[in-house]
Amino acid sequence: MYRSQRLALNYFTAAMVLFGIMVVAGLLAASQYVSPGLLLNKLDFNVNKMLHIDTMILWLLMGFIGAVYWFLPVELDRETEGVRLAEVMFWIFCVIVAVVAVVFVFVQYGPSEETTLWLINQGRKYVEAPRWAAIGITLTVLVFVYNVVFTAIKARRVTGILAVLMVDLIPLAGLYLIAFPAITDMSVDLYWWWWLVHLWVEATWEILIGCIMALALMQLLGTERRIVETWLYVEVALVLGTGILGLGHHYFWIGTPSYWLGIGGFFSALEPLPLLGMVAHAVYDAGTQHMKTTNKPAFYWMMAEAFGNFLGGGVWGFMMTLPQINLFTHGTQWTVSHGHFAFWGAYACGVISVIYLALEKARAIREVNGAAWRWSFALLNIGLVGMVGALLVAGIAQAFFERAIGGSTLLAFMNAQGSPWFVQGITMRLVFGLVFAAGYAVLMYDLLTIGRRRVAVSGLKMGVAGGVA
């Protein structure tokens, strides 16, 4: 195993720990919806939500970085350039995340002055980390970009997938810089902030996960490079062709000119196309290889990624992307339903798939299988889809009572919060959140023990080092 791959395993471990914190914070925030007095003035909803979504961004980023460190040396047949520096940055990254989490939980607020921006919170949703920490995260990502580019330069060779990856990493890292400026005009601030959020999840991350899934497909199903690269190019063209101007679907109501209604509506309505292409690609490859694989969990999680990306991002996004509809659904639990489905489907499932692939090699498992992964797969996905359904019901109630009938007033908002559909929706979200959390626990058990468990085969006890699992 390459040193870069050992580093990848560290990244995966850190990602799974953060995933756990995310689940706990999510459960707390969901409980506060049901019981608003819970932990009031101690660990308020806004702090839990911030922890929830910031750890989500970070664990997914860590998963992506880990995946690239895992595949890169194999792709180029050589150790990752500057891997020592990357190892140092990994630990720095972990310390930063731990300190920021402690500050979020124990300090929470600061006066509205520069020091708060530097030491406590920069206040931009999803990337709230204070400046000192954001600088550290930027450096970690820059070292990562350096590793990828210089490994290719030293190898004097670049594959199609790596070329796409390298070009993608430049805007991906650059967009993060939008986390820094403190703009006081709210319209201008949101205008740029959406570049970061939208152009990450609907452009640069989408291409990054496309590259990672392409590399994974070749390892998992032995799909030919020619095929995965051709699909990747088509997907990249479609993602960028629709996703860049699709940005306009966030510019409907923030004070930007009204031409965004047409541009945003039209281009974002086309955004499901590349995601549908990815489903076709995954199903096509699985079919041509007769679904033969030694790594069932990686295969199932990859399929979940393809379908989840299309359904959660494409279909759930499409539902509310036309301005005529968004007028009623904007910022309701409908949006939250889509946010959960899309992040889970497009990114989380892909990261879990790669972790199973990596463990197969790292622990020399002949065939990755067993009951635990099935339980975790079922519980996590039932939990997630259950939450998504419950939130959709709550969101529809809001769109109807609060917006369509109530005319978007504060009173209508309060009334909708009391509607039985809304109340039942958020209660069921908590119930399914607990199912999801159970799935997380089983996933952790499986990841920690797979290939290390002693298994009984045909009545014989076999102590297999990295055995059938």
Q: Name the residues that contact ligand HEM, by CB under 6 A.
A: 23, 26-27, 29-30, 33, 49, 52-53, 56, 125, 201-202, 249-250, 268, 271-272, 309, 313-314, 317-318, 320-321, 326, 330-331, 335-336, 338-340, 342-344, 346, 348, 433, 436-437
DSSP string spanning 237-298? HHHHHHHHHHGGGGSSSSS--THHHHHHHHHHHTTHHHHHHHHHHHHHHHHHTTT--SBHHH
Q: Do the beta carbons of residue 168 and residue 133 sit within 8 Å?
A: no
Closest to ligand HEM by CB, 401 vs 436, is 436
Other beta carbons within 10 Å of 441: 14
* 199's tokens: 């152009």
Residues 67, 1: Cα–Cα separation, whole Å: 14
Residues 424, 419: Cα–Cα separation, whole Å: 9
Select from ligand HEM, Fe ion, none the partner in contact with residue 346, using the beta carbon and a kind-dependent cut-off of 5 to 8 Å.
Answer: ligand HEM
Binding segment for Fe ion among 100-108, 139-147, 193-201, 285-293 (CB under 5 A)? Answer: 193-201
Residue whose pair of structure tokens reads 């039209």 in the numeric block: 266
Q: Write down the least CB distance from residue 309 to ligand HEM, Å.
A: 5
Select from ligand HEM, Fe ion, none the partner in contact with residue 26, using the beta carbon and a kind-dependent cut-off of 5 to 8 Å.
Answer: ligand HEM
Q: Write down the least CB distance from residue 59 to ligand HEM, Å.
A: 9
Residue 52 interacts with Fe ion (CB under 5 A): yes or no: no
In the list 52, 198, 330, 340, the residue contacting Fe ion (rule: CB under 5 A) is 198
* 412's tokens: 């209508």
Which residue has its beta carbon closest to Fe ion? 198
Closest to ligand HEM by CB, 248 vs 370, is 248
Q: How far is CA 217 from CA 293, 309, 355, 387, in A?
A: 11, 16, 13, 29
Listed residue (350, 354, 334) closest to 429, CA to CA: 334
Q: How far is CA 49 from CA 28, 29, 123, 184, in A?
A: 9, 6, 13, 23
Q: Write down the least CB distance from residue 23 to ligand HEM, Å.
A: 5
Binding segment for Fe ion among 195-203, 225-233, 361-369, 410-418 (CB under 5 A)? Answer: 195-203
Residues 256, 270: Cα–Cα separation, whole Å: 22
Q: Write down the least CB distance from residue 192 to ligand HEM, Å.
A: 15
Closest to Fe ion by CB, 198 vs 281, is 198
Select from Fe ion, ligand HEM, none the partner in contact with residue 348, using the beta carbon and a kind-dependent cut-off of 5 to 8 Å.
Answer: ligand HEM
Q: Write down the least CB distance from residue 250 to ligand HEM, Å.
A: 6
Binding residues vs Fe ion (CB under 5 A): 198, 202
